[in-house]
Structure 1
Amino acid sequence: MKTTVVGFPRIGADRELKRITESYLHQESTAEELIQEGRRLRKAHWQLMRNAGIDLIPSNDFSFYDTTLDTAVLLNIIPKRYADLKLSTLDTYFALARGYQGDAGDVTALPMKKWFNTNYHYLVPEFETDTQVKVVGTKIFDEYLEAKTNGIETKPVILGPFTLIKLAAFKGTTYQEHLPQLVAAYQEIIHRLSQQGTQWLQVDEPYLVKDLSEEDRSLFLKIYQNLTNSPRNIKLLLQTYFGDVRDIYEDLLELNIDGIGLDFVEGKHSLELVTASDFPEDKLLFAGVINGKNIWRNDYQKSLILLDKLPPKQFVLSTSCSLLHVPYSVEQESFPAEITKHFSFAKEKLTELKEVAENLDQETEGWGFNQKLFRENRIVEKEALSKQLAALTEKDFQRQPEFRTRNRLQKQTLDLPLLPTTTIGSFPQTREVKSTRARFKKQQINNEDYTAFLKEKIADCVAFQEEIDLDVFVHGEFERNDMVEYFGENLDGFLFSKKAWVQSYGTRCVKPPIIWSDVSRKQSITVKWSTYAQSLTDKPVKGMLTGPVTILNWSFPREDISIKESTLQIALAIQEEVLDLEANGIKIIQIDEAALREKLPLRKSDWYGEYLDWAIPAFRLVHSKVAPQTQIHTHMCYSEFADILPAIDQMDADVISFEASRSNLALLDDLKAQNFQTAVGPGVYDIHSPRIPAVKELETTIETLLEKIPTEKLWINPDCGLKTRGEKETFESLANLTRAAKEIRERLVNETIEN
């Protein structure tokens, strides 16, 4: 049995790619140094996979920012405003990803969205009327030859044309106008790779696991019947992941392709589909059995039982998806052996692939170790917590009184102006902040000195907010390394790695906590910092918390209990913190659910039965006991919300802020159409770009918001937290934000007086 992986992490064992890319962007390294480090990382990863015995090693899964963006650049899908900057190819690429503000011009970045049901983000390709789709890049060809020069035969990977179309934006045009050129471009890619001697090409079509309309199915078949109708010397693997392909499986069997990659981890109908009909003898099944999204070891017995049920005589053993979504290697961690033995990161999953592929004899040492591991009962259940969960009733998930009554009481209590201004929570995490926190963790400074440092930073943060006259303050979150990790560190039941970094977007890497056992609150977590900030100002200071669904979704969850049960455990712990903040005089509490949509099933038919019917109540459980006068905020990151707005309204928060600027505020029409009751703060500028929005630009944005959102329901805030931004750009942007809001506010007041 041969083996392969869908893709491999590209950031490096120690985030080398992040460091060199940021160094280049800060003009501290040259383009050649960046390119050279990319070559070194690719070679190291290819050699690692070859040494592990992987048969079909991927190439072109490497990227300096995002592979969807790479595909767009390869195919000349570059909007005119970026081409007009006349930058180098590399700098145009980064302008698309991050925006650009300099001598050559001023452009915002391409929109960025969540990659299906993961915490990875992709750049949205943008087709314009005059877009000429053609192969202008060489990356996919160069990296195949680069590997071959190193003596390694690879399987190039590219995002498929159907998924590209479904994820792209079309400005003043339609996909039909570009389809002939797009198909021709992919045919050229296949031809050129074939000329180079490539044996396999992996074409990723993850969109096939979503609900497909008849139009979708017709489009897909039209593309692939045209794409595969000419003779070729290269084998085509159509790779899917994150679910099953029930809507189009039979059509895939009829296509002139050589391999079909299916996910047997998240694809709950994949086994049923394969066993229900004869799998063609002229095709290879690529069976995604090793979980590419979680960090627990594979149960060999379960995998072999599944593989025994597969009808094809020959198949290739694979990961369920790219290993991009897991850390590099357990070898870099220092957990005790009794803990480490349960984990499998990207490097370890290569070994698991090989061992399962070899059909381990049940008498071997490897089989015995694996089965002993899965017979262990490693969790000691917290009996009191179990009883508390069992005793929950419907009343525990309902806040009283209803929204309108609370809204009236909060206006009287808080006395905020029209268009209240605030931030999402975090302020820039400077090198000084990071190094001081690191020194404290290493016990190089004592708790007293560290507390004094944090109080100084909070005082500076409050003073700045006073200076620019924000309406609702935050304390800056200087004590927090990460919005999930920080809470996990202060809750029982979590483990924390040293170097288990995972790419979220571009150079942004996160280190998800590991939910190891039952979760409960040990002590107060945030009260000290929020109350200190509140003591420095008469303006309200928000208590800043991370919600239970986001903590679950941005952690590596347990697999021995349901994610619903695990989330409710977290919800009870955060509820204690909410009530503690309220008891200490904090009148506004923000409970971020940045990742609410992340584990939403990709098929609408599964939304409520498998997720929303417990995820939304879990949030309500957190704030259900607060007083009517306490205002509850929440925040949501990059996602598409139109189709779940009714569920979001059911969260029963008082104010919801959304990331919206990179989607060109497309959310506004949806909010209006749904008659959304909650007050909202759509982000008025993009914090993932270093550019500084001008006051006039922000005024225009606010005026656009007011066309769709009632004045009394609109808050003014950035897109997201500011921890990753520099101080200068942050301070200037926020100062412009408050000036713009005041200008519009004064205009509204004057218009009211005149009328």
Structure 2
Amino acid sequence: MLKHNLGFPRIGEQRELKKACESYWNGKIDSVKLFEIGKKIRIENWNIQKHYGIDLIPCNDFSFYDHVLDMSFLIGSIPDSYFNLKFKNDIDLYFSMARGYQKHKFDIKAMEMTKWFNTNYHYIVPIFTKNQKFFIYSKKLFNEIKELNNIVDSTDKIKPVLIGPVTYLSLGKEKDNTFHKMDLIENIVSVYIEIINKLLNKGIKWIQLDEPILSMDLYDKEKEAFQYAYKKIYNYFSLSDVKIILTSYFDGILDNLSIIKNFNEYITAIHIDLVEDPNQLKDVLSFIKDSKTILSMGIVNGRNIWKNRYNDTIDKIKKAIFSIGKDRIMIAPSCSLIHIPIDLDKENNIHLDIKERMSFAKQKIKELNDIEKILEGDRNILLKNSFLIKKLENSTIIHNKEVKLRSDNISNKYIQRKNDFSIRQKKQKEKFNFPLFPTTTIGSLPQTKELRDIRNKFKNKKISEKEYVKKIKSFIIYAIKKQEEIGLDVLVHGEFERTDMVEYFSEKLNGILSTDYGWVQSYGSRCVKPPVIYGDVSRIGDMTTDWICFAQSNTNKFIKGMLTGPVTIIKWSFVRDDQPIYKTSYQIAFAIRDEVLSLEKLGINIIQIDEPALREGLPLKRKNWKYYFSWSIKSFRISSSGVKDETQIHTHMCYSEFNDIIKQISDLDADVITIESARSNMELLKNFSDFYYPNEIGPGVYDIHSPRIPSVMEIYDLIKKAANFLYKENIWINPDCGLKTRKWNEVLDSIKNMVKATKIARKELS
């Protein structure tokens, strides 16, 4: 029974990759040093996996920015506009695709970015042209095999990881509508065959092809592409020793077993996610029973940080052994471990009872070892695991009867505004009297090194609370002054007291904890520290009112209160696994509701409840959408529906395909929704127009994930395009997202251009 891993976190235990990339972008280190740091992280990762006895160690799971972008680079899927920049160093070409390039006479936008399936990880969207040819461009994959070969004693233990051809095409977009991206399957399979051939020549036996699209509802074109791709690869390599592991995760594959049946004989092993869908095991075993196919069982949770329940896992493995035999079984995490932190042992401030139930990436690898030992007869590991799980079942650390009672009894008065939007909008327009195209930002403003140092000093008790508060207030005053000078209509306080939009609230709520080193990559050098929801959640007291009210006292303009919504807190946290997710979400919703009412009572009449994770949390299969929306929309409405008609509720959503959930977005009943739409050139707005979306919308008019500064006319053109889709009276003007990751000079110049463009639009489009 082989133990293997699908991928390991690449940021480094101290976020070395983040610091190295940002130093390189700022010109503080050269590419040699950058590559040196990347190699050090890879070697550390490989040694960890070797130490815990992983039989097949993944290679090519490391990335300087994004593994989808790496795949584009490997197969030469690089748009001409970036090639034409003629960089001397390929890493600069690579980063220009992810971040844009604005220097000398060049001004190239970054490629579009969106969420990786239903996770909080972002990837760079490939762009395809009609009849596009693919070719091996990057040598990264082959160089890393050479590196790993110096650590393990045989290439038999090296398992290169590639995004499968059908999933890769599905992740991209056509440059125009003259073709379908799946029409490129013949061209792209040719380069995959070339890559596999080179891997075989290097002595590689096992190759992991990730096809998570198998967990989704597939169209005919995708089904045909699967049949063609894997038959073609098999025919070419049928006489070789290559062993293909077809890997899917994030949901079950039962709906697509009939498709896999058509090419099952062409693969050596199939990996399934038994964490997200444990019920698929019986049917998958029945499906492969009479074949030679090996089953890779994803039995260690790659997306959450709770310790494996060994009893349940051993039962699954024993069923599989009984059905197909031990020699046809592999065990692995459910998916790549890039979605969880690296090492729990570094955490020294977590209650021991809770910490004993937790497991990070390094510990997940060890869990595979434990499972193997239990199967070999070690009862002590099993008994200890069972004791730790049982220990917290009735713990007062976890359970609060009053909180449970409140969230278990939800009447209609908690999920309905007093009047519908048409009545509310009239009252709000009279109250606020904003001009056409009111301007605002999404909430956060630049988090400088000085600010981070102040927070760290306060956290480590090197400065007093009084000194800390004074410093944060000085940042707020500066931010208010700059926003007033630029001429924004609705201001924000900047969120300088917050390290992260979810982590901040976790520190103000019972039942949630923050880690010290639990960093996870979101995109590029952007890392987040997801909180851990371990018990019943309730509000300790006011969370934001002091800062928001202080900001309001320093301006005559309206300040927008900034909160994070319950669904986003759920989706961007590691959620307890001992009760249904909706119960936890309702508990958080009531805590946010209490904060909303406190803000309103203190005179804050514009309140934004961010839900950027609403779309990303959508189940991969449509048949599961109804259940998801039943609790997610209800959660938002619990948090937002207690206010008066005159109080304006905003929400914000990140990169999303809205066309298939536009009704549900409308059901949120937010007065104003802001969305990311600049990178897609306002394409998303057509969905709102076709649906006749009734409420107000703030389409993002510039991309904040890139350092480039958009011109006035570039922003004006986007406003003009938005006005072609939407009622002008319902349009707000704002950036794509929060500005915390950008520098002040970038932010000020960009917002100045945004306001100038808005003034032109008011004149030209009124």
TM range (shorter): over 0.9
Q: Is the 8 A contact 2:131 2:184 kept in 1?
A: no
8 A Cα contact 1:548 1:571, kept in partner:
yes
Alignment of 1:219-368 (within 5 A): 219-231=225-237, 232-253=240-261, 254-310=264-320, 311-313=323-325, 314-334=328-348, 335-360=350-375, 364-368=379-383
For structure 2, which runs of at least 5 residues remain unmatched after alignment?
A: none
Query: What amino acid does structure 2 have at the position aligned with 1:317?
Result: I
Structure 1 stretches of 4+ moved >6 Å = none
Match of 1:206? 212
Name the CA distance, whole Å, in 2 between partners of 1:251 and 1:598.
26
Residue 251 of structure 1: how far off its partner (Å): 3.9
- Aligned counterparts of 1:361 and 1:39: Cα–Cα separation in 2: 36
Q: 1:2, 1:357 within 8 Å by CA — same for their partners in 2?
A: no
Select which of 207, 217, 223 maps to 1:217: 223
Distance 1:362 1:235 in 2: 30
Q: How many residues of Structure 1 are paired with residues of Structure 2 in the alignment?
A: 748
Instruction: Supply the distance in 2 between the matched residues of 1:479 and 1:175 (Cα, whole angstroms).
Output: 45
Question: Are 2:476 and 2:551, in contact at CA under 8 Å, matched by a contact in 1?
Answer: yes
Partner Cα separation in structure 1 for residue 167 and residue 724 of structure 2: 34
Q: Which letter does structure 1 place at the counterpart of 2:146?
A: L
Q: How far does residue 268 in structure 1 lie from its aligned partner after superposition? A: 4.5
- Quote the Cα distance in structure 2 between the aligned partners of 1:583 and 1:539: 18
After superposing the two structures, state which structure 1 stretch, 245-254 or 642-651, moved more: 245-254
Query: By how many angstroms is 1:309 displaced?
Result: 1.6
Q: Distance in 1 between matches of 2:194 and 2:53?
A: 32
Query: Offset at 1:673?
Result: 0.7
Q: AA paired with 1:601? A: P
The 3 A distance-change label for structure 1 pair 632 and 176 is closer
Cα-to-partner distance string for 1:274-329 (whole Å, 9 max, x where unaligned): 24334244221111001000000001100011112222212000110000111001
By how many angstroms is 1:630 displaced? 0.2
The structural deviation recorded for 1:104 is 5.5
1:188 alignment partner in structure 2:
194
Following TM superposition, by how much is the alpha carbon of 1:39 offset from its aligned partner in structure 2, in angstroms? 1.2
SS in 1 for 2:589: helix
State the shift of 1:228 in Å.
1.6
Match in the other structure for 2:418? 400
Query: What is the TM-score when the length of structure 2 is the normalising length?
Result: 0.96
Is 1:551 matched up with 2:559?
no
Displacement of 1:678 in angstroms is 1.5
Alignment of 1:118-129 (within 5 A): 118-129=119-130
In structure 2, the partner of 1:620 is: 637
Query: What is the aligned counterpart of 1:570 among 585, 588, 592?
Result: 588
Residues 132 and 187 in structure 2, CA contact (< 8 A), matched pair in contact too: no
Partner of residue 62, structure 1: 62
Kept after mapping to 1: 8 A contact 2:66/2:124: yes
The 2-side partners of 1:395 and 1:255 are apart by 57
CA 1:572–1:448 in structure 2 vs 1: closer, same or farther (change >3 Å)? same
Contact 1:493 1:520 in 2 (8 A): yes
User: Aligned AA for 1:134?
Assistant: F
SS of equivalent residue, structure 1 residue 673: helix
Alignment of 1:107-126 (within 5 A): 107-126=108-127
Shift of 1:213: 2.4
Using the alignment, how far apart are the partners of 1:359 and 1:274 within structure 2? Answer: 24
Could you list the per-position Cα deviations for residues 444-469 of structure 1 after superposition, in whole angstroms to 9, with x for gaps in the alignment?
11111111111111111111111011
- Shifted more, 304-313 versus 572-581: the winner is 304-313
Contact kept, 8 Å, 1:113 with 1:638, in 2: the verdict is yes
The reply to whether residue 147 of structure 1 matches residue 151 of structure 2 is no
Q: Which moved more, 1:474-483 or 1:179-188?
A: 179-188
3-state DSSP class of the match of 1:743?
helix
Secondary structure of the structure 1 residue equivalent to 2:575:
coil
Superimposed CA distance per residue, residues 546-584 of structure 1 (whole angstroms, 9 cap, x where no aligned partner): 001111111100001111000100000000000000000
Amino acid at match of 2:257: Y
Change (3 A) 1:322 1:645: same
Cα offset, 1:224, TM superposition: 1.4
In 2, Cα distance between equivalents of 1:575 and 1:362:
51
Cα deviation, 1:240-287, whole Å, max 9, x if unaligned, reads 111111232244343311111111111244213224334244221111
Question: In 1, distance between residues paired with 2:765 and 2:12?
Answer: 53
> How far off its partner does 1:487 sit?
0.7
**Superposition deviation, residue 389 in structure 1:** 1.9
Q: Retained in 2: the 8 A contact 1:76–1:131?
A: no
- Asked whether 1:170 is paired with 2:171, we answer no
* Matches of 1:363 and 1:505, distance apart in 2: 41
Supply the AA of the counterpart residue of 1:125. Answer: P
Residue 753 of structure 1 is matched in structure 2 by none
Spell out, residue by residue over 1:19-47, the C-alpha distance to the aligned partner (whole angstroms, 9 max, x if none): 11111111111101111111111111111
In 2, Cα distance between the equivalents of 1:165 and 1:278? Answer: 27
Question: After the TM superposition, which of the residue ranges 170-179 and 623-632 deviates more from structure 2?
Answer: 170-179
Partners of 2:233 and 2:694 lie apart in 1 by: 48
Identity rate of aligned residues, in percent? 42
- Seen in structure 2, the aligned counterparts of structure 1 residues 589 and 270 have a Cα distance that, compared at 3 Å, is same
Q: What letter is aligned with 1:692?
A: I
1:695 maps to a residue whose letter is: V
What code does the residue aligned with 2:120 have?
N
Q: CA deviation at 1:362?
A: 6.6
CA–CA distance in structure 1, aligned partners of residues 183 and 316 of structure 2: 44
Runs (5+) with no aligned partner, structure 1: 750-755
Task: Decide which of 590, 609, 617 is 2:608's aligned counterpart.
Answer: 590
Distance change (3 Å), C-alpha of 1:363 and 1:92: closer
The one-letter code of the counterpart of 1:491 is: L
Is this contact kept in 2: 1:246–1:269, CA < 8 A?
A: no
Q: Give the partner amino acid of 1:247.
A: D
The alignment partner of 1:509 has SS state of: strand
SS at match of 1:424: coil
**d(CA) in 2 for partners of 1:523 and 1:362?**
51
2:637 is the alignment partner of 1:629:
no
TM norm structure 1: 0.97
In structure 2, distance between residues paired with 1:151 and 1:622: 53
Q: 2:551 aligns with which of 510, 515, 533?
A: 533
Q: Tell me how far 1:518 sits from its aligned partner.
A: 0.8
CA displacement, residues 1-32 of structure 1 (integer Å, 9 cap, x when unaligned): 21011111111111111111111111111101
C-alpha displacement of 1:470? 0.4
Kindly indicate whether the alpha-carbon contact (under 8 Å) linking 2:654 and 2:737 is maintained by their aligned counterparts in 1: yes
Aligned to 1:448: 466
* 2:692 corresponds to 1:692: no
One-letter amino acid of the structure 1 residue matched with residue 164 of structure 2: G
Asked if structure 2 preserves the Cα contact closer than 8 Å seen for 1:286 and 1:316, the reply is: yes
Q: What SS does the aligned partner of 2:266 have?
A: coil
25-34 vs 225-234, which deviates more? Answer: 225-234
